[in-house]
Structure 1
Amino acid sequence: MRLVLFVIALALALRAYEWVTHDYRMPWTPLSLAAPIGPFTTRKIDALADDTPLCHGLLEAASIGYSPLPPVSASPDCGYDNGVTLTRDQPQSIAYNPAAKTSCPMAVSLVLWEKQIVNAAAVRHLGTTVEQVVTFGSYSCRRIGNGKTGNYSEHAQANAIDIAAFRLADGRTVSVAGHWNANDERSRFLKEVRDGACELFATTLSPDYNKAHSDHLHFDQARRGGSRYCR
């Protein structure tokens, strides 16, 4: 009897060890682009800002086509040394127009957003998939709100992107400006991809935030220790 209890206890202990050491929800489990989004995903993405080889390795392990970008040093407040372009040459990938040139951690976030949020929401609400994301750009040496003074935007470090619209596989286009308040399946799709982005990006802003964002979704990875702001 003692031997049976010992074997059961050992099996339970081994199972618990496997869960603790490999479960994607644990803070020490390495980030994987194949794993679901977990409570510490944004913290793990934060860490990639200090480890570009690891960031590249994540994209390569997931067979995500990308090209490293030459470093840019426009000023003390503008530029990047870990930029990439997602080449989108793999099957069923979503293209960006214009091409998204972002920091590598932003690219990782976008891949997770596409794989786990965007197409699932498109199928659920629109009955099709997304072929292209139309953007207002990513890297831009400017201050927040294009002001003449104040803090520089995360765009100034290629650490942000503005999403304007989604072109679908069936030929339709769903735009933030045109359909956010449509009160139909298009607006439900847009709000679901915004809500999903809140799980991945440090800052997610939409038309619900202010008039300046009435025509786009703003995503960025401001390094805030895993904290998030979603509106």
Structure 2
Amino acid sequence: MLSIAALAVFAGWHWLERHPEHNPLAPLDLRDPIGLATATKLIALRGDTPTCRAVLDRSEIAYSILPPQGEGPCARPDRTQLNTYPLRPNVPATTCPVAASLELWRTKSVVPAAREILGGELSHLEHIGVYNCRRMRGGNSNAWSQHSTGNAIDISAVVLKDGRRISLLQNWNTEGDEARFLRAIRDDACDVFAVVLSPEYNAAHADHFHLDQGGNWMGACR
């Protein structure tokens, strides 16, 4: 006869099998909800391009592998381009971990928040850059920006299918649903990106979200 402790372990494992988003041993699938184990799994993708691309394959995400570019601190050995991601003015190549997190953020945050808060359907996201071979805050001695390897993206606006454009520059400091929507998707981004910088961080980010997958933890959310 199984003991109460054994039954509890069995029940717990059975629950984890039905909720892979909370199971640290289950392979990451971007179609699953965001759960207790999601951040840990995303962290494990950093610096492991083959495993990351296996996640995209498992999640049935269409992507292209582009040739490496650059050298030194601006080398880009991992250039992964999402084939059908709704980005404008183009769909740039990022690192694979950024691509995976963008997909998770879009499907689990931006799309449902647009429906629930704004009553609309997502058309596309606008960005103002991914790759820029530069140091942080300029100068010659600061650490290299995550943009120097394409491990970051700056999102400036969300456009709905009915034509509404929710811009960080125009809507962040207003009252109403547009500002609430932007804050909601900023908060959700903190669950899938290592660093999220918004207009609350400083004046340099007044017109965009900076999203990157640098470092070895999830943390900076400002």
TM-score (norm 1): 0.87
Q: Which runs of 5+ in 2 are unaligned?
A: none
**Contact 1:95–1:131, Cα closer than 8 Å, also in 2:** no
Q: Calculate percent identity across the aligned residue pairs.
A: 38
Q: Deviations over 1:124-154 (max 9, x none)?
A: 1111121111101111111112434311100
SS in 1 for 2:94: strand
Contact 2:193 2:218 in 1 (8 A): no
Instruction: Give, in angstroms, the shift of residue 53 of structure 1.
Output: 2.2
Q: 1:114 to 1:56 in 2, by over 3 A?
A: same
Counterpart AA for 1:108 = A
Aligned with 2:31 (options 34, 46, 49): 34
Deviation at 1:51, TM superposition (A): 2.6
1:80 to 72, 76, 81: 76
Please point out which of 194, 201, 207 is paired with 1:215.
207
Q: Is the 8 A contact 2:168 2:208 kept in 1?
A: yes
Equivalent of 1:153 in 145, 154, 159: 145
> Any conservation in 2 of the 1:84–1:101 contact (CA below 8 Å)?
yes
1:216, 1:50 → 2: CA distance? 26
The superposition leaves residues 81-122 of structure 1 with CA deviations (integer Å, 9 ceiling, x where unpaired) of 12111111xxxx533432132000100000000010001110
Q: How far did 1:14 drift?
A: 3.5
2:87 matches 1:95: yes
Counterpart secondary structure, 1:84: strand
* Residue 71 (structure 1) aligned with residue 82 (structure 2): no
User: Unaligned regions of 5+ residues in structure 1, if any?
Assistant: none
Displacement, 1:172?
Answer: 1.2
| Distance in 2, Cα, partners of 1:77 & 1:126 | 41
Equivalent positions of 1:1-231 (< 5 A) are 6=2, 13-20=9-16, 23-73=20-70, 75-88=71-84, 94-224=86-216, 226-231=217-222
Structure (1/2) with the larger strand percentage: 1
Q: Please give the per-residue CA displacement for 1:15-65, whole angstroms capped at 9, x wherever unaligned.
A: 333335664223333211122212332332222233322212221222211
Report how far residue 13 of structure 1 moved: 4.6
Q: What's the RMSD between the two structures over aligned residues?
A: 2.1
Using a 3 Å threshold, how does the CA distance of structure 1 residues 8 and 27 change in structure 2: closer, same or farther? closer
Give the deviation of 1:6 after TM superposition: 4.2
**Structure 1 residues 63 and 96: CA distance shift in structure 2, 3 A:** farther
SS where residue 101 of structure 1 aligns?
A: coil
Q: What is the deviation of 1:9?
A: 8.0
* Partner Cα distance (2:218, 2:61) in 1: 27
Matched positions, count: 221
Alpha-carbon contact 1:177-1:215 (below 8 Å) kept:
yes
Contact in 1 for aligned 2:191/2:218 (Cα 8 Å): no
